[in-house]
Structures are given as C-alpha cells and as structure tokens.
Amino acid sequence: MSILARQLRLFAPRPFGTTFITSYSTWREEIAHKWKNQEEIDEARKWLDSFQISDIPRKQCKVTFAASSGPGGQHVNRSSTKATLHFELAKAAWLPSLVLKKVRENSHHLTKHDAIIFQSDETRSQHENMDKVFEHLYNELKSCVSRDVPGETSPEKHERVMKLQKAEREERKRIKNFQKAKKDARRGRGSDLG
C-alpha cells in the first residue's frame, strides 16, 4: 500500500452527527425572525409566566349549553350539559397585542369570524364542562404564544453548542481536504514523475 493511499485512508469520511446541529440553529433563527426585537420576546416570556386561568374574564366570553351526545341513557337527552365557548378576539381588550397577534398566527381553532370556539361534553356536569372549555381556551392562548418563544439558553449549553458547531465545521473542512487530495492524486500532481 502506497503512502498516499495510507494518508487518504486517514482522511476517509466518517459518519458524524451534524444534521441536528444545523437544523437546530436554523430553527432558532426562524423563531428569532418572528419577533421585532428582544424586548418583545421578554414581554412574551413575562406574560407566559404570569398568565393564569383566573385571568380570563368569564363575562367577556359567550358560553352556551346544549344536549350532549354519547352515552348516558335517559339523562343525556334531559339536561343541557355540553358547553360551547365563543371567544371573540376583537373583544379581548384585556389581552396584550402581541398575544392577539400570536393567536391569530398560530391558532388552529380560529374561525373566519376572528373567534375561537371550544366545546366540551366530557362530563355529565354542566359546571365541569364549562370549566373544561375555559381550560381549553387557557391552554390554547398559552400554546399559541409559547410556540414562538425561544427557550433561554444556559451558558453551559451555549458553550456546548458552540463546541459542536466548531467540530462540525472542522469535520466539513477535513472531508473537503480529503476530496481535494483524492482529486489531486488522480491528476498526478503529487507524483515526482510528471
């Protein structure tokens, strides 16, 4: 085996887990572009930390009751236990504008009339079903905002990611040099006979 062949074997490409790092950093950049500035992200984080289910003004939401479907025997047709919540975003002055913006961007429950509708007939109690629809609304509001809020990175994790990115760049450079050496060997640049 020639010396060049041994050297090329040393530089042979090896599997390396680089796709995660690249996709992770791309995702972080995409999330960062959804906000105007860092203050807006901080405001969203603050709202997420402080928002409670009791902060939803129940009088500003329209709740209707109807007969629920499903098992329950004679009781199912007699009582109106299914709760339906209509939450109109135009009337939600108590929500910050950035929350309304994120709900309009991210909610899958948004109707063409700019409202969110939830139904619950999970229990046989009207009161419990009403609590469930408000819980669904609370979870939807929080998830719409938190979907675009990047997590805070600890210094240790940041340092680890930087090391992994550096290793990825070095691996890419090593593979390019290997390919270059292979092509140079084919062209005969490395030989003294030329």
3 state SS for 42-94: HHHHHHHHHCCHHHCCHHHCEEEEECCCCCCCCHHHHCCCEEEEEEEHHHCCC
In a domain, 191, yes or no: no
Please report the beta strands in the chain, taking only residues with DSSP state E, as ranges in sequence order: 62-66, 82-88, 115-120
Number of domains the chain contains: 1
In a domain, 104, yes or no: yes
In a domain, 155, yes or no: no
CB hemisphere CA count around 71 (13 angstroms): 0
pLDDT at 4 over 90: no
What is the domain-level CATH number for residue 73? 3.30.160.20
How does pLDDT run across 141-191, given as a tens digit for each residue? 999 888 888 777 788 988 998 999 999 999 999 999 999 999 988 887 655
In a domain, 170, yes or no: no
The pLDDT assigned to 194 comes to 44
pLDDT at 97 over 70: yes
Model pTM?
A: 0.63
Its domain, for residue 47, covers 35-146
In a domain, 141, yes or no: yes
pLDDT at 39 over 50: yes
In a domain, 111, yes or no: yes
pLDDT at 99 over 80: yes
CB hemisphere CA count around 14 (13 angstroms): 9
- Give the residue with greater pLDDT, 20 vs 115: 115
Q: How far is CA 65 from the centre of its chain?
A: 34
The pLDDT assigned to 29 comes to 64
In a domain, 22, yes or no: no
How far apart (Å, rounded) are the C-alpha atoms in residues 84 and 93? 21
In a domain, 41, yes or no: yes
- Greatest Cα pair distance, the chain, in angstroms, is 100
